[in-house]
Amino acid sequence: MSQIQRSKPPPRKGGKQRHFCHDFFNSEGGDNNVVACDFCGWTCNRNATRMQVHLTKKCKSVPDDVREILDKRSDSANLISPNIEFFDKPLQNQSMERDMRQSSSSSSGPSRCRMAPEKKKKIDEGIARAVYATSSPFSMFENPYWKAAIKNIDPAYDPPNRKELSGKLLDEEYSRRTVAVDQRINNATSLCIMCDGWSNVRN
């Protein structure tokens, strides 16, 4: 069983103790408002609710014995309010849209998590390729149900809009496919050319 030695956090103003989840995060890059998970390195703005959800439900690197302790502390702390919506009721579109706007606001917001540009680019490319391969509408991710589903997967990710899917991402995917086809042709040991035509009684 792993042992985690941590000093008891000092009381906050008014005698209120810091929530236990802060014990498993450290400040990132000298910015006290941005913290990183001790187990997986995931970063977000300092927010006890979001940090607790990450530790107890999302982080795959938390040791089993530590997770058991976290679950017990989570039950006793009861930090997450039962009124918090995680898009379990998609018919409440007004509330959903408000949450989406808050989540897509400036990264300096108190609950905004950061995603590495390289990771977002890779996800965008994969989503774009799936859209093109299935002839899906470019506006599909502007639908509130799709937005809700994606935010449940990763709140830090903003999917591409129709302008990006029909412009920059499409051009990049076309270039990649062209290069891939050219490479396969150049590496081929033989080629077969097929022609198709038609005629009628007049020609």
Give 17's pLDDT tier (boundaries 50, 70, 90): low
Return left, alpha or beta for 171; rule: phi > 0 is left, psi -120 to 50 is alpha, else beta. Answer: alpha
Give the model confidence (pLDDT) of 34-87 as tens digits. Answer: 888 888 888 888 888 888 888 888 888 888 888 887 777 766 554 444 444 444
pLDDT score, position 90: 44
Q: Could you tell me the pLDDT band of residue 106, with boundaries at 50, 70 and 90?
A: very low
d(C-alpha 141, C-alpha 162), whole Å: 8
Residue type, 29: G
pLDDT bracket for residue 109 (50, 70, 90): very low
Q: Is the pLDDT confidence value at 112 over 80?
A: no
pLDDT digits (tens, 9 = 90+) for 182-201: 998 899 888 888 888 877 77
pLDDT at 9 over 50: no
- Per DSSP, the residues of 154-171 read -TT-----HHHHHTHHHH
Handedness of CA 78, 79, 85, 88 (dihedral sign): negative
pLDDT in tens, 131-144: 999 999 999 988 88
Token pair listed for 39: 């187990």
Q: Which residues are paired to 44 by β-bridges? A: 35
Q: What is the pTM of this model?
A: 0.41
pLDDT of residue 108: 42
Q: Which of 87-91, 123-127, 128-132, 157-161 has the lowest mean pLDDT?
A: 87-91
Mean pLDDT of the region 163-174 = 93
